[in-house]
Amino acid sequence: MEKTWNNKAWFMVLPVLVLVAFSAVIPLMTVVNYSVQDTFGGNQFFWAGAEWFEEMLHSDRFWAAMGRNLIFSAIILAIQIPLGIFIALNMPRKGWGVPVCLVLMALPLLIPWNVVGTIWQVFGRIDIGLLGYTLHALGFDYNYVNDPFDAWVTVIIMDVWHWTSLVVLLCYAGLVSIPDAFYQAAKIDGASRWAVFRYIQLPKMQRVLLIAVLLRFMDSFMIYTEPFVVTGGGPGNSTTFLSIDLVKMAVGQFDLGPAAAMSIIYFLIVLLLSWVFYTVMTNYDVEK
Amino acid sequence: MAGTREAVADKDKMMRDAATTTGAVHGGVVDEALARRMRRRGEESRFWWVVPTIYIIFLMLPIYWLINMSFKSNQEILGAFSLWPQNPTLRNYAVIFTDPSWYKGYINSIIYVVMNTVISISVALPAAYAFSRYRFLGDKHLFFWLLTNRMAPPAVFALPFFQLYSAFGLIDTHIAVALAHCLFNVPLAVWILEGFMSGVPKEIDETAYIDGYSFPRFFVKIFVPLIASGIGVAAFFCFMFSWVELLIARTLTTTDAKPIAAIMTRTVSASGMDWGVLAAAGVLTIIPGALVIWFVRNYIAKGFALGRV
Amino acid sequence: MDFSWMAWTLPTAAFFITIFLMLVGMGVWEYFSPGGNPRVGILRFETTRGDRLFVSLLGSAFIHLAWLGLIGPNLWWALALAVVYAIGVFRFV
């Protein structure tokens, strides 16, 4: 659509600007201020320069949390995207099945994140949880409290349970926008199931898939509540992701300086990713 | 296969072809192989429910387990393992509905979620209109800056938020949480609404102005009804993200405005974990979400189609 | 209202004022020469001068971090490098 140039539009944006700036800019400035100072409480601050940043960049703890977070995000994407596409392809297009599927599948998305954690904490317990009990009864040595591998498996299955529906709903929305005529033409041509997917459905889903990948990456990169409730970052530090580590440092140990420095590094990475996301999206839309 | 590729390359032509060939199929001019293939396809679609059913069972099992536990007493939960309550009890729900410190949590959550949804939508409407209709100084950068707040990790903001809202004397009020959640919900609402508004032809605005409508009257009387489904979808997502968020809500509240999700952590007491009440509280947090999603079920696919979540 | 918790220091204040002045400067520049001089540079997509400023600033932040992590605490050299980088961005991107 052709847009007219009108700087008065700023007045319409002003309320949003003020509201978001209040909640975003002031805290961000504060974090920057903290990151170059040391404090022992009581609003007494001492200049520390770039010390905290240096400490963070040389801290094994930080890089370990970063590594865990990247591996976690990679696994999440590798499972949720193909699974989401597969389920979306098999969803009904019309009839009573549509609202039932939509509502039931969207349900996990609307559960408070710590309740998601609680559900899986209970579900995985070997004494009272269905999953843990069944696995134990089948002879698996499963215990997410003590075993880092089991903790990882639990956290990943939980995230698959929690967020795959988002990918499904996005892909489904892309699929229903394909006119029936496309399928009929393919049928006449004798196209195989794979050809229909590769040449009709996949191109139509491209945009929503792009969004799904980026959203899932960003959200898994800042995951906090769910693994915190289930494992508390343990056993040891094995499921301590960036956000968990950050909150531990800022609230648990009250190390404001290092926590602020870590926040800024974390935020810069997210900013870079958002920029890539935004640029890719807008250029994609321009090309279409 | 090659035919398919060409067909996709030329969509318009294919649509026309499809229309004529479908007519041909109904006319009975079909070779045997095609008929067989179509029959096989028909059989395939009879099993369409298998995959969604398996997936939905996977989704429902943990929720079922929570519901199951909420109807058991603690002795039964910790005692013999059973797939359904042997002696169903409503005690856990009774605990929640009779203790104000429990059910107030639900009221608090609902209050700040509704406040946040109302604030987000009302400030986002004019802004989204501006983004969808006009170009102005720095518009693209402003839009991008708004979106970065949707992407920013809440953990980064949790600590300064506490001090910021303390400075304004807003700690432990509903409005504090509602305002803090605007950080990610306002950008989201602007993004979703902008998508819906761009779908409304500009000629409608122009005709209304020619007919003598003032801008506010046009906006309320004509424009808002046109994008009603968009407002519904945006409100749904604002509700959803405010309802599920805990880190910021917990940081900004102590007692009077504490959300239910934070109160749940209380169930660890000296006598051990009160699993039954925990499960019942969890089940009750799922219900509002389920209700809301039922109301917007017909619009939700459209909201996702814009890909703006 | 007490804002001492924000813990302002001279260098950080100078930093934010610089950023703010840059934004104002971009606004004025845009006002006198609208359109943002869009072109397709080495990143192979269209950028305006606002985009180039953002890429410069974000890149500079990462240059400083890399310097701090890999070389040492003397950030003046990193700043010099960042300025060179920013000029490069405004020239070629």
CA torsion A105-A177-B190-B226 (nearest 10°) is -110
Do residue C69 and residue A49 have CB atoms under 8 angstroms apart? no
Question: Among C2, C5, C54, C55, which would you mutate to test the B interface (most chain B Cβ atoms within 10 Å of its Cβ)?
Answer: C5
B-facing residues of A in 182-211 (CB < 8 A) are 182, 184-192, 195-196, 199-200, 203, 207-208, 211
pLDDT score recorded for residue C82? 92
For residue B290, list chain A residues with Cβ-Cβ distance below 8 A.
103, 107, 110
CA distance C48 to chain B (A): 10
Question: Among C1, C4, C6, C15, which would you mutate to test the A interface (most chain A Cβ atoms within 10 Å of its Cβ)?
Answer: C6
pLDDT score recorded for residue B45? 61
Tell me, yes or no, if B197 comes closer than 8 A to chain A by beta carbon: no
Is the model's pLDDT at A67 over the cut of 70? yes
Tell me, yes or no, if B164 comes closer than 8 A to chain A by beta carbon: yes
Is residue B246 classed as helix, strand or coil in its secondary structure? Answer: coil
What chain A holds in terms of domains, given with CATH numbers, is: 27-58+255-288 (no CATH), 73-243 (1.10.3720.10)
Quote the distance between the C-alpha of residue A50 and its chain's center.
30
Per-residue DSSP letter, A228: H
Q: Identify the bridge partners of residue C46 per DSSP, sorted by sequence position.
A: C40
pLDDT score recorded for residue B18? 43
Question: Among A5, A20, A133, which would you mutate to test the B interface (most chain B Cβ atoms within 10 Å of its Cβ)?
Answer: A20
Tell me, yes or no, if C29 comes closer than 8 A to chain B by beta carbon: no
What chain B holds in terms of domains, given with CATH numbers, is: 54-89 (no CATH), 100-305 (1.10.3720.10)
User: Looking up tokens 């950050």, which residue turns up?
Assistant: A246
Residues of chain B where predicted confidence (pLDDT) is lower than 50: 1-30, 38-39, 41-43
Of B25, B33, B148, the CB nearest to A274: B148
Tell me, yes or no, if B135 comes closer than 8 A to chain A by beta carbon: yes
Residue B108 tokens, joined: 């608090």
CA torsion A33-A34-A40-A42 (nearest 10°) is 60
Residues C42-92 have pLDDT tens digits of 777 788 888 889 999 999 999 999 998 888 778 888 899 999 999 998 888
Give A274's contacts (C-beta < 8 A, 6+ positions apart). A218, B144, B147, B148, B151
pLDDT score recorded for residue C83? 92
Of C1, C3, C27, the CB nearest to B138: C27
CA distance A253 to chain B (A): 12
Is the model's pLDDT at A140 over the cut of 80? yes
Q: Looking at chain B, which residue has its C-alpha nearest residue A269?
A: B152
Give dist(CA B141, CA C57) in Å, integer. 14
Quote the distance between the C-alpha of residue B306 and its chain's center.
14
pLDDT score recorded for residue C61? 93
Q: ipTM value, please give it.
A: 0.88
Is the model's pLDDT at A20 over the cut of 80? yes
pLDDT score recorded for residue B121? 94
Give dist(CA A153, CA A239) in Å, integer. 10
pLDDT band for position C2 (cuts 50, 70, 90): confident
A-facing residues of B in 93-112 (CB < 8 A) are none
Tell me, yes or no, if B124 comes closer than 8 A to chain A by beta carbon: yes
Give dist(CA A280, CA A287) in Å, integer. 11
Q: Looking at chain B, which residue has its C-alpha nearest residue A125?
A: B78
CA torsion B9-B12-B13-B19 (nearest 10°) is 130
For residue C62, list chain A residues with Cβ-Cβ distance below 8 A.
268, 272
User: Cβ of A25: how many Cβ atoms within 10 Å?
Assistant: 14
Q: Looking at chain A, which residue has its C-alpha nearest residue C13?
A: A33
Q: Is the dihedral of CA A162, A168, A174, A176 positive or negative?
A: negative
Of B137, B141, B167, the CB nearest to C1: B167
For residue C6, list chain B residues with Cβ-Cβ distance below 8 A.
163
Is the model's pLDDT at A196 over the cut of 90? no
pLDDT score recorded for residue B57? 93
Do residue A53 and residue C15 have CB atoms under 8 angstroms apart? no
For residue C30, list chain B residues with Cβ-Cβ distance below 8 A.
137-138
Q: Looking at chain C, which residue has its C-alpha nearest residue B142?
A: C50
pLDDT score recorded for residue A256? 83
pLDDT score recorded for residue B24? 40
Give the mean pLDDT of chain A: 86
User: Cβ of B261: how many Cβ atoms within 10 Å?
Assistant: 27
All partners of chain A with 3 or more CB pairs under 8 angstroms: B, C
Do residue B140 and residue C3 have CB atoms under 8 angstroms apart? no
pLDDT score recorded for residue B3? 44
pLDDT score recorded for residue B37? 55
Do residue B149 and residue A4 have CB atoms under 8 angstroms apart? no
Tell me, yes or no, if B168 comes closer than 8 A to chain C by beta carbon: yes
Is the model's pLDDT at A63 over the cut of 50? yes
